[in-house]
């Protein structure tokens, strides 16, 4: 039988806890400008075969993405060889590629190169958007195995991107 | 544009009263017909922020609402400060009547600015009661002010937005609480007394059960001061249309920006605002009653109606009919309109996660395999799909069972009403793993629902 989940009155406490943990985990947020977004990944789960989905939960401007094509990016970075990635330009397309700069993880310096690179992956797509959850379908070519998911955004006119914390995910075989 | 000094100077004493030790005054400002006559809290010198038709409310000494020291003055009622109309983007000398349900503009829910939005216009209203607002006024305290416009939905189709007993059902308040979460919000800037724009929705229903929606608005009224949120937000009280709750009115809670204020608005940029309850109406409190409840028959005069339709089908998901007695509203438990087996309107919780009691075989849970759009609304489909539902080997699909495999089933779905399945834990109580995963896949785009099994 279905059971109850935490009541609405617990929301603010949950949000505050998630945000606090994010601040500890993601120093970039501390240096964010006045309207920089808060980007936090609190969980990530991959499932399905042959079509594989990654469910990413956290804090991101989900309500704004209904109104506008905000340039949020979601990077799924394989840890198998350390360089393969799929980048979901949330309001646009998915791009795949390989970037040696990702071998030590995504940092701000990697972002301009990532945004300029990659090959369009028609079978990768954003399949679901909710205020606290983003669902993406991985391209068939993306390797199975350990990976990391990370949000980032570089707004037009800005030179410093905002990055979320990375979150591990185990990608199943297609 | 008025200056802060002038704004304060115009707050002259019109009348004085004492209310529980608080001094009450009224603004006298013939140059600002929206604020003229509004109530001033004598203890702070600031205008009282009251929802039209609602009671004057203060959080009490602890500074927080929904605590025992809340101060609620039912004899002081909010007037119509802001008025919104849908389907148009400019106003003449008078506010037209709010649209009727049959004439309400239709929005289609899609992300990334790709949806069909709801045109709207907002203006200040010369001092008038909630039920007879107007005429529109070019309020100097709103010059250049950003107006937040938010959409609220009648998710349970009872004819009202908000937590109410006017529907004759005192046991569905948990579902109605979900109606206090907006289903879209945007910002428009006041120019020449009016703010207009287009609001895109994130919620809608299929053709057989479209969603009735009310658009409401709130803004801060006062001078723009570079030292206050960078001059992007007026330094003054919040004025509102009817809203189904008492909102947070502290600019620091309302605006997602530091003291330097938000960046100038840019196409595709963040809106940087929140509109959330500070106080959720409790009709058990006679001082509040149903004064925040908004009917969706077109009779509410400061707000206006729209209709929300779901977007294009993208994949399948799981819905569950919420138990009105036990459902707890939460953002991760969205309620969306769908259809039952007889194509009658039915509200479903669209599942992100499912909790099932590990109480042994028997007492299964009915779920609905439903087509969804990208925003998680139940969508229409034009053909028949074979949809496979698979568990990780703990949760069992007990009905239907056409293949003898309790952990996998393929069902046919040919309509927005979806197709029912029943799931249950197997074996005995307390003998299962604590988690599982339901994967729903039509062979093109999968979906997944996390399952938690609890031992009572």
C-alpha distance across the termini of chain B, in Å: 63
Label residue B142 by pLDDT band (50, 70, 90). very high
pLDDT digits (tens, 9 = 90+) for A104-130: 999 999 999 999 999 999 999 999 999
Report the pLDDT averaged over residues A22-31.
Answer: 33
Task: Kindly list the residues from chain A whose CB atom is less than 8 angstroms away from the CB atom of residue B374.
Answer: 126-129
Question: Which pLDDT score is estimated for A21?
Answer: 38
Copy the structure tokens of residue B110: 């899609």
Nearest to A53 among B186, B199, B446 (CB): B446
Q: In this predicted structure, what is the pLDDT of residue B23?
A: 67
Residues in A touching B352 (Cβ below 8 Å):
130, 133
pLDDT of res. B381 = 98
In chain A, DSSP assigns E strands to 40-47, 53-59, 72-78, 84-89, 94-98, 119-120, 125-130, 133-137, 145-153, 162-163, 167-171
Are B267 and A71 in contact (CB < 8 Å)? no
Over 70: is that where the pLDDT of B221 sits? yes
Q: Give the pairing of strands A133-137 and A53-59.
A: antiparallel
Chain A's closest residue to B229, CA to CA, is A34
Q: Which of A15, A67, A133 to mutate to test the interface with B (most CBs of B within 10 A)?
A: A67
* SS3 label, residue A98: strand
Whether residue A69 lies within 8 A of chain B, CB to CB, comes out as yes
Interface probe for B, chosen from A6, A8, A74 (most Cβ of B below 10 Å), is A8
Task: Flag the least confident range among A16-20, A110-114, B319-323.
Answer: A16-20
pLDDT tens sequence across B342-395:
999 999 999 999 999 999 989 899 999 999 999 999 999 999 999 999 999 999
Is residue B372 within 8 Å of residue A133, measured between CB atoms?
A: no
CB contact under 8 Å between B271 and A37, yes or no, is no
A95 backbone φψ class: left, alpha, beta (φ>0; ψ -120 to 50): beta
Subunit contact A70:B261, Cβ cutoff 8 A: no
Chain B touched by A51 (CB under 8 Å): yes
In Å, how far are A8, B86, B298, B376, B391 from A4, measured between CA atoms?
11, 37, 35, 21, 21
CA quadruple B26, B29, B30, B36: dihedral sign: negative
Q: Which range, A30-39, A58-67, B148-157, B222-231, has the best average confidence (pLDDT)?
A: B148-157
Is residue B400 reached through a cis peptide bond, with omega within 30 degrees of 0 on the bond before it?
yes
Chain mean position to CA B444: 32
**A89 vs B: CB within 8 A:** no
Q: Which residues of A touch B372 (CB under 8 A)?
A: 128
Query: B198 to chain A nearest CA, in Å?
Result: 9
Q: Which letter does DSSP use for residue B231 in this model?
A: G
State mean pLDDT over B249-267.
68
Cα distance between residue B306 and residue B186, in whole Å: 15
User: Which of chain B's residues have a Cβ under 8 Å away from the Cβ of A4?
Assistant: 326, 328, 355
> What are the tokens at B227?
């030292």
Whether residue B443 contacts residue B315, with contact meaning beta carbons closer than 8 Å, is answered with no
The yes-or-no verdict on residue B22 having pLDDT over 90 is no
Average pLDDT of chain B to the nearest whole number = 89
* Distance in Å, alpha carbon of A56 to nearest chain B alpha carbon: 11
Is A109 in the B-facing interface, judged by CB distances under 8 Å?
no
Q: What is d(CA B14, CA B40) in angstroms, rounded to the nearest whole number?
A: 10
Best A12, A30, A47, A140 residue to mutate vs chain B (most B CBs within 10 Å): A47
Is pLDDT at B261 greater than 80 in this prediction? no
Using a CB–CB cutoff of 8 Å, tell me whether A127 touches chain B.
yes
Nearest CA to B81 among B47, B58, B57, B45? B47
| Residue in B266, B330, B352 nearest the CB of A6 | B330
Per-residue confidence band for B200, with pLDDT thresholds at 50, 70 and 90: very high
Q: Which residues in chain B have their CB less than 8 angstroms from residue A37's CB?
A: 270
What mean pLDDT is predicted for residues B291-298? 96
Residues of chain B found within 8 Å of residue A151, distances taken between Cβ atoms: none
Lowest mean pLDDT segment, chosen from A18-32, A49-63, B80-94, B397-411: A18-32
Question: CB–CB of A67 and B320 under 8 A?
Answer: no
Q: Nearest residue of A to residue B149 by CA position?
A: A67
Please give the pLDDT value at position B390: 96
Residues of B within 8 A of A33 (CB-CB) are: 263
B310 contacts: CB under 8 Å, gap ≥ 6:
B108, B109, B204, B205, B206, B373, B375, B377, B378, B379, B380
Q: Name every residue whose Cβ is closer than 8 Å to that of residue B234 and which is 6 or more positions away in sequence.
A: B141, B142, B144, B145, B219, B220, B221, B222, B223, B224, B228
Q: Are B293 and B161 in contact (CB under 8 A)?
A: yes
Q: Could you report the per-residue pLDDT of B32-76, keeping only the tens digit for each?
A: 999 988 888 888 778 899 999 999 999 989 989 988 899 999 989
Which range among B76-85, B197-206, B251-260 shows the weakest confidence by mean pLDDT?
B251-260
For CA atoms B65, B66, B70, B74, the dihedral sign is positive
Task: Give mean pLDDT, residues B306-314.
Answer: 98
The token duo for B16 is 């004085």
Residue A168: per-residue pLDDT: 98
């Amino acid at each position: 039988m279905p059971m109850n989940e935490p009541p609405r009155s617990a929301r603010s406490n949950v949000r505050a806890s998630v945000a606090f943990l994010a601040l500890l985990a993601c120093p970039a947020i501390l240096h964010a400008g006045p309207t920089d977004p808060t980007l936090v990944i609190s969980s990530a789960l991959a499932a399905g075969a042959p079509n594989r989905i990654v469910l990413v939960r956290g804090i991101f401007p989900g309500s704004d993405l209904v109104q506008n094509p905000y340039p949020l990016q979601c990077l799924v970075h394989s840890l198998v060889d350390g360089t393969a990635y799929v980048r979901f330009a949330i309001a646009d397309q998915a791009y795949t590629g390989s970037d040696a700069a990702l071998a030590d993880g995504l940092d701000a310096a990697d972002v301009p190169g990532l945004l300029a690179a990659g090959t369009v992956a028609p079978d990768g797509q954003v399949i679901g958007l909710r205020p606290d959850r983003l669902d993406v379908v991985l391209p068939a070519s993306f390797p199975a195995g350990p990976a990391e998911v990370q949000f980032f955004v570089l707004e037009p006119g800005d030179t410093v991107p905002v990055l979320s914390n990375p979150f591990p995910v185990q990608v199943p075989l297609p | 544009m008025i200056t802060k000094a002038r704004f304060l100077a115009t707050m002259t004493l019109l009348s004085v009263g004492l209310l529980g030790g608080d001094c009450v005054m009224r603004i006298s400002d013939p140059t600002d017909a929206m604020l003229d006559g509004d109530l001033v809290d004598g203890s702070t010198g600031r205008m009282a922020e009251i929802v039209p038709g609602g009671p004057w409310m203060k959080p009490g000494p602890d500074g927080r609402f929904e605590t025992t020291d809340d101060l609620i003055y039912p004899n002081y009622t909010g007037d119509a400060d802001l008025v919104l109309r849908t389907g148009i983007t400019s106003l003449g000398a008078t506010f037209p009547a709010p649209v009727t349900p049959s004439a309400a503009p239709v929005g289609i829910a899609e992300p990334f600015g790709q949806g069909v939005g709801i045109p709207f216009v907002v203006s200040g209203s010369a001092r008038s009661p909630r039920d007879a607002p107007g005429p529109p006024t070019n309020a100097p305290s709103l010059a250049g002010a950003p107006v937040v416009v938010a959409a609220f939905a009648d998710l349970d189709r009872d004819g009202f937005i908000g937590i109410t007993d006017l529907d004759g059902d005192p046991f569905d308040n948990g579902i109605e609480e979900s109606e206090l979460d907006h289903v879209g919000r945007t910002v428009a800037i006041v120019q020449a007394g009016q703010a207009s724009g287009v609001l895109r929705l994130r919620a809608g229903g299929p053709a057989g059960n479209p969603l009735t929606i009310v658009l409401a608005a709130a803004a801060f009224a006062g001078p723009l001061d570079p030292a206050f949120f960078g001059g992007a937000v007026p330094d003054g009280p919040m004025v509102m249309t009817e809203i189904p709750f008492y909102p947070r009115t502290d600019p620091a809670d309302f605006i997602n920006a530091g003291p330097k204020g938000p960046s100038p608005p840019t196409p595709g940029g963040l809106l940087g605002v929140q509109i959330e309850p500070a106080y959720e109406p409790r009709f058990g409190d006679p001082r509040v009653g149903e004064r925040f409840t908004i009917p969706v028959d077109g009779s509410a005069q400061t707000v206006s109606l729209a209709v929300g339709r779901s977007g294009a089908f993208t994949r399948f998901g799981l819905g569950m009919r919420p138990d009105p007695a036990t459902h707890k509203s939460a953002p991760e438990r969205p309620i969306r309109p769908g259809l039952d087996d007889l194509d009658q309107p039915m509200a479903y919780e669209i599942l992100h996660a499912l909790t099932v009691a590990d109480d042994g075989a028997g007492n299964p849970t009915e779920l609905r395999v439903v087509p969804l759009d990208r925003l998680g609304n139940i969508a229409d489909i034009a053909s028949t799909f074979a949809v496979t539902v698979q568990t990780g080997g703990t949760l069992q699909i007990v009905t239907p069972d056409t293949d003898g495999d309790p952990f996998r089933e393929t069902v046919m779905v040919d309509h927005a009403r979806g197709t029912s399945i029943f799931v249950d834990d197997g074996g005995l109580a307390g003998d299962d793993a604590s988690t599982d995963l339901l994967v729903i896949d039509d062979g093109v785009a999968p979906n997944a629902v996390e399952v938690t099994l609890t031992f009572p």
